[in-house]
Amino acid sequence: MITKRIIPCLDVKDGRVVKGVNFQGLGDVDSPVRLARYYSDCGADELVFYDITASAEGRALFTDILRETARRVFIPLTVGGGIGTVDDFDRVLKCGADKVSVNSGAIRDPSLIGKAARKYGDQCVVLSVDVKRVDGVFRVFARGGRENTGLEALEWIRRGVGEGAGEIVVNSIDTDGVKQGFDLEMLEAVCRVAKVPVIASGGAGCVEDFLTLFRTLPGVDAGLAASIFHFGEVRIADLKDAMAAAGIPARREGAKRI
């Protein structure tokens, strides 16, 4: 049976992981390569590198790091942040990314999804959507959640899938950072309109939140989080054990190196 995926997300700026990382015994933990390898050994099913660099130098550094990570980490790697053109897809795919996540870039130019999907395949294009309730309606926000685009979220997701997005990341701004659990209501609504894999993001605070997510919504394929993994509040190995104990299909590899 296909397993539910657990995906740590690393925000990378000027070649370092930001948002803070706190691991005992890991030393230089703001190294994306090192952290990626650590997560891979812990049984993470996939990694997301999110480039929050603004400068050209930072961007070049990011692709160097991506290449170095892909040389040493052998699980799927998704890259997001600052993807606005097919050339941007090309740049990160050449450095070893397997999937590319688009957000604001697709809002500015929705045809980007289709162009990229035709060139690299649907499976390569991830549509990431920041969603917030405004007067009871799910609205799409852009620019890191700062700007209300006025787009109705379910309509936007339906359109994105129609254009060729092979996967949807739903980040609930309402639950993000609150650590009281995923936004089940929002995710359920998305699962009803999306026929492609749905990745839940925003709100996980503990192992139980992931169990509730997968038990309540069989249509959700993966759970994504950042700081709870980085700060060791949730250890991926423990999470996988708990999933297996709860009868949720989980891949358990551990650190069996060859």
Say how far apart CA 210 and CA 242 lie, in whole Å: 9
> Within positions 151 to 180, which residues make up the interface with other proteins, using CB under 8 A?
166-167
Helices (H) and strands (E) in the chain, counts: 10, 11
What are the backbone dihedrals phi and psi of residue 200, each rounded to the nearest 5 degrees, phi first? -90, 135
Active site residue 41: no
Active site residue 130: yes
> Within positions 38 to 57, which residues make up the interface with other proteins, using CB under 8 A?
40, 45
Q: Which is nearer to other proteins, 121 or 162 (CB)?
A: 121
- Binding of residue 100 to other proteins (CB under 8 A): no
Say how far apart CA 29 and CA 27 lie, in whole Å: 6
Q: Which is nearer to other proteins, 141 or 210 (CB)?
A: 210
Beta strands in the chain (DSSP E): 5-13, 16-17, 47-51, 77-80, 99-102, 125-134, 137-142, 147-152, 167-172, 198-201, 220-225
Instruction: Report the nearest approach of other proteins to the CB of residue 73 (Å).
Output: 9
Q: Which is nearer to other proteins, 167 or 176 (CB)?
A: 167
- Binding of residue 70 to other proteins (CB under 8 A): yes
- Of 20, 26, 54, 71, the one binding other proteins by CB under 8 A: 71
Q: Show which residues are catalytic.
A: 11, 130
